[in-house]
Amino acid sequence: MIDGSLTRKAQKQLYKAAREFKLDTNLLKILEKPMRTLKVSIPIKLDNGKTKVFTGFRCQYNNAIGPTKGGVRYHPNVSEDEVVALAAWMTWKCALLDLPYGGAKGGIICDPTKLSEAELERLTRRYTTEIMPILGPHIDIPAPDVYTTSKTMAWIMDTFSMFKGYTEPSIVTGKPEILGGSKGRKEATGKGLAIITREFFKAQKKSLKGAKIAVQGFGNVGGHAALFLSKMGATVVAASDASGCLVNPGGLDIPRLMECVEKYACIIKHPGKQIHRDELLFQDVDVLIPAALEDQIHKNNASKIKAKVIVEGANGPITPEGDEILEKRGVDVIPDILANAGGVVVSHLEWVQALSGLYWEEEQVNAELERKMVKAFKQVWDKATKRKVTLRCAAYLAAIERIAEVYRYRGLFP
Ligand code: NAD
Nearest to 103 by CA among 341, 289, 293: 341
Ligand 1: atom nearest CA of 188 is 40
Q: Tell me how far apart the alpha carbons of residues 313 and 2 are, in angstroms, rounded to a whole number.
A: 19
pLDDT at 20: 87
Residues 224 and 243 in one domain: yes
Asked whether residue 348 is domain-assigned, the answer is: no
User: Known catalytic residue: 105?
Assistant: yes
Ligand 1 midpoint to CA 63 (Å): 26
pLDDT at 21: 83
Residues 129 and 225 in one domain: no
**Domain ends where: 305, 339, 373?**
339
**Residue 284, phi then psi, degrees to nearest 5:** -80, 85
pLDDT band at 202 (very low <50, low <70, confident <90, very high): very high
pLDDT at 364: 98
Q: Which pLDDT tens digit goes with each residue over 242-261?
A: 999 999 999 999 999 999 99
Residues 163 and 199 in one domain: no
Residues 20 and 162 in one domain: yes
Asked whether residue 361 is domain-assigned, the answer is: no
Q: State the CB neighbour count (10 A cutoff) for residue 263.
A: 10
pLDDT at 125: 98
pLDDT at 207: 94
Asked whether residue 410 is domain-assigned, the answer is: no
Check 9, 69, 93, 105 and give the catalytic one: 105
Give me the half-sphere count of Cα atoms (radius 13 Å) on the Cβ side of residue 172: 31
Residues 162 and 202 in one domain: no
Total domains in the chain come to: 2
Residues 22 and 119 in one domain: yes
Q: Which pLDDT tens digit goes with each residue over 140-173?
A: 999 999 999 999 999 999 999 999 999 999 999 9
Residues 170 and 195 in one domain: no
Report for 2-11, 40-49, 267-276: range of highest mean pLDDT: 40-49
Q: What number is the average pLDDT over the span 184-192?
A: 96
Does 68 have pLDDT greater than 80? yes
Q: Tell me how far apart the alpha carbons of residues 103 and 71 are, in angstroms, rounded to a whole number.
A: 10
Residues 150 and 215 in one domain: no
pLDDT band at 1 (very low <50, low <70, confident <90, very high): very low
Residues 143 and 12 in one domain: yes
Question: pLDDT over 70 for what percent of the chain?
Answer: 99
Range of the domain at 219: 188-339
Asked whether residue 353 is domain-assigned, the answer is: no
Residues 221 and 239 in one domain: yes
pLDDT band at 4 (very low <50, low <70, confident <90, very high): low
Q: Residue 140 in contact with residue 58, Cβ under 8 Å?
A: yes
pLDDT at 86: 96
Asked whether residue 413 is domain-assigned, the answer is: no
Residues 89 and 72 in one domain: yes
Q: Which pLDDT tens digit goes with each residue over 83-112?
A: 999 999 999 999 999 999 999 999 999 999
Alpha carbon distance, N-terminus to C-terminus of the chain: 38
**Domain ends where: 294, 317, 339?**
339
Q: What is the bridge-based pairing of β-strands 244-247 and 273-275?
A: antiparallel
Q: What number is the average pLDDT over the span 318-329?
A: 95
Q: Tell me how far apart the alpha carbons of residues 255 and 267 are, in angstroms, rounded to a whole number.
A: 12
Does 222 have pLDDT greater than 70? yes
Asked whether residue 356 is domain-assigned, the answer is: no
Asked whether residue 244 is domain-assigned, the answer is: yes
Ligand 1 mutation target, pool 293, 294, 336, most atoms within 8 A of CB: 293
Average pLDDT, the chain: 96
Ligand 1 midpoint to CA 315 (Å): 9
Residues 108 and 154 in one domain: yes
pLDDT at 119: 98
User: In the structure, which protein residues have their CB atom closer than 6 angstroms to any atom of ligand 1?
Assistant: 144-147, 189, 216-222, 240-242, 277, 291-293, 313-315, 340, 343
Which ranges in 51-184 belong to alpha helices (H)?
80-96, 117-131, 150-164
* CATH code, domain with 93: 3.40.50.10860
**Domain ends where: 312, 339, 366?**
339
Does 54 have pLDDT greater than 60? yes
Asked whether residue 382 is domain-assigned, the answer is: no
* CATH code, domain with 249: 3.40.50.720
